[in-house]
Amino acid sequence: MVTRSAPRLEFVAHLAIDVGPAIDLGDLPDGHRRIVPILGGSVTGPRLCGRVLPVGADHQYLRSERVTELDARYALETDDGARIAVENVGLRVGSAADVAALLRDEPVDPDRIYFRTQPRLSSAHPEYSWLADTLFVATGERTPSTVELDVFAVG
């Protein structure tokens, strides 16, 4: 058996995503659902710079009192005018008390929360065609008014 080397991670950008108050849909037949509106934000990094457009939302499924599944869809605009579609799925896991605090929009030490996502990025702009050919992972932090993501390309 041949063991391949672990993939390398290349930092692409930091996204500071402004979010609005959650819309709580309650306990639906498939679980507790929330929608968190995306209001805007910034994108800063060595490979992407620009802004988060004020469009989209994070559709959340509270799988248990500790685990939240995330499915966010929104758009970015780079400083040179390219628009990028984002589909970002992931998990946020913590103690029941910490998750409850996050759901109340209270600050929680990010070291106590496992927050990982898999962003899919794509653009019609030819200079950003590499986005559709690259796998990304991100680490996240939820603050009372933002979602902070560090996005990495998997090499």
Separation between Cα atoms, residue 100 and residue 32, nearest integer Å: 13
Per DSSP, the three-state class of 118 is: strand
Separation between Cα atoms, residue 15 and residue 77, nearest integer Å: 12
Separation between Cα atoms, residue 142 and residue 110, nearest integer Å: 8
The pLDDT, as a whole number, for residue 31 is 86
Written as six digits, the tokens of 135 are: 């796998």
User: H or E stretch including 99?
Assistant: helix 96-103
Percent of the chain scored above 90 by pLDDT? 94
Written as six digits, the tokens of 102 are: 């996050």
The pLDDT, as a whole number, for residue 1 is 87
The pLDDT, as a whole number, for residue 48 is 98
Using 70 as the pLDDT threshold, list the residues of the chain that sit under it: none
pLDDT tens for 93-128 read 999 999 999 999 899 999 999 999 999 999 999 999
The pLDDT, as a whole number, for residue 30 is 82
Q: Is 29 exposed, middle or buried (0-12, 13-18, 19+ CB in 10 A)?
A: exposed
The pLDDT, as a whole number, for residue 58 is 98
65's torsion region: left (phi>0), alpha (psi -120 to 50) or beta?
A: alpha
Tell if the pTM clears 0.85, that is, is over it: yes
The pLDDT, as a whole number, for residue 85 is 98
